[in-house]
Amino acid sequence: MPEQRLQDIASAVLRRGRDARRSPARGQLTAHSELTLPNAASAFHLSHVDDSLAHPPHNDQPLPPRTHHNHLPPSVPAAAMESLGVLLLHPMNAYLEQELDRRFRLIRLWDSPPDARADFLRSNAAAIRAVVGNAGYNADSALIDALPALEIVASFSVGIDRVDLAKCRERGIRVTNTPDVLTDDVADLAVGLAIAALRKIPQADRYVRAGLWKAKGDYTLTTRFSGKRVGIIGLGRIGLAIATRVEAFDCPVNYYQRTKKEYPNYTYYPSVVELAANSDVLVVACPLNEQTRHIVNREVIDALGPKGVLINIGRGPHVDEPELVSALVEGRLGGAGLDVFEDEPNVPEALFTLDNVVLVPHVGSGTHETRQAMADLVLGNLEAHVLKKPLLTPVV
């Protein structure tokens, strides 16, 4: 595959489909457009099996029939692709699994019983040169040690905190992820959760379905989102996309991150506590690492206060979950919209009965368009690796 082709793939995928889905006449996203992309030729336990896909990207329904079918171009030797043994750690996307199976030698980890995983890996270790994981299942130290022939870890996610990056660097193992393509969907969800939490949309929906509108009359008054002070922890790709969206609601934007940047329309605060104290809605949008684990603690929650709303579309461990639950139960925090949790899919049951929280099962990137774009990045990175071309989205 010519290097220019791989560069074209990267450019097309990283446009996130926005341009491809716009109506040229009005510059708006069309309802039936499909993103058409060029074809690109904490710990993980060996005994752990949970095919319910607790963590996103989670099990997608099969995609609708496509109007075209990707084929490897003649310039890509089929034998070279088929020689790459790819270990897929979990069933995460129908299109991705189908294409991995078609292009490479696919080995599904869940084909082995949970109590035979170690033997399964030993018997296939010589063939496994690539691992495909996601935000919940990825290449930790134990898995890397079990695979002496491993050359690349291609993550079907942006988050790679479950990949042992130090060991990958030590072994010369390449690591890729899927940035940019999910930015819009995650930012959309953050705003949606904020509006849903303040306007109590899920609760109002249940009120109607239960026949209470007819029986008891009008639903309780709620709180508007427009004009609220929005604080964002982490003004990276997703944080900036959230900021752009809330500006359309006349929301002042405040932010915190390690380094102050020149954003003339946004106000910087040097600590998360100060940010929370000056925000009505606090959004967690930073990467997860040791410095950001429990970045939202009791002090931050108390600073946000009984009228404040916390939105987490980052990772569950960003928030001290027991402190969050206590604050919501006691009324020290006004509300929350949560896409992620500390021990997914185990959500604190105390949240289920609360009327001031909106819960969704880690679906930030869960659209057909984004998951296909993410899959194309994974496939493109693997093919680039086989062909010894520059990786499309390298991390290591």
Q: Pick the catalytic residue: 97, 321, 344, 383?
A: 344
Secondary structure of residue 25 in the 3-state scheme: coil
Which neighbouring-strand residues pair with 254?
A: 231, 267
Residue whose pair of structure tokens reads 């609601």 in the numeric block? 249
C-alpha distances (whole Å) from 88 to each of 50, 81, 97, 110, 128 are: 14, 16, 8, 9, 10
Secondary structure of residue 193 in the 3-state scheme: helix
- Residue 88 DSSP label: E
Query: The tokens of 363 are what?
Result: 């679906």
Secondary structure of residue 112 in the 3-state scheme: coil
Decide: 200 and 224 in contact? Cβ < 8 Å. no
d(C-alpha 213, C-alpha 366), whole Å: 32
Name the region of 305 (left: φ>0; alpha: ψ -120 to 50; beta: rest). left
How would you label 27-54 residue by residue, b for 16+ Cβ within 10 Å and e otherwise? eeeeeeebbebbbbbeebebeebeeebb
Whether 330 sits among the annotated catalytic residues: the reply is: no
Decide: 234 and 257 in contact? Cβ < 8 Å. yes
The dihedral of CA 381, 385, 386, 389: what is its sign? positive
CA quadruple 186, 163, 286, 329: dihedral, nearest 10:
80
CA angle 25, 27, 29 (to 5 degrees): 110
Task: Encode 344-367 in three state secondary structure.
Answer: CCECCHHHCCCCCEEECCCCCCCC
Whether 344 sits among the annotated catalytic residues: the reply is: yes
Query: The tokens of 325 are what?
Result: 């639950």
Whether 290 sits among the annotated catalytic residues: the reply is: no
CA atoms within 13 Å, Cβ hemisphere of 104: 30
Query: The tokens of 296 are what?
Result: 């939202």
Q: Pick the catalytic residue: 105, 162, 315, 371?
A: 315
Nearest to 119 by CA among 48, 44, 47, 49: 47
Decide: 152 and 74 in contact? Cβ < 8 Å. no
Active site residue ranges: 315, 344, 362
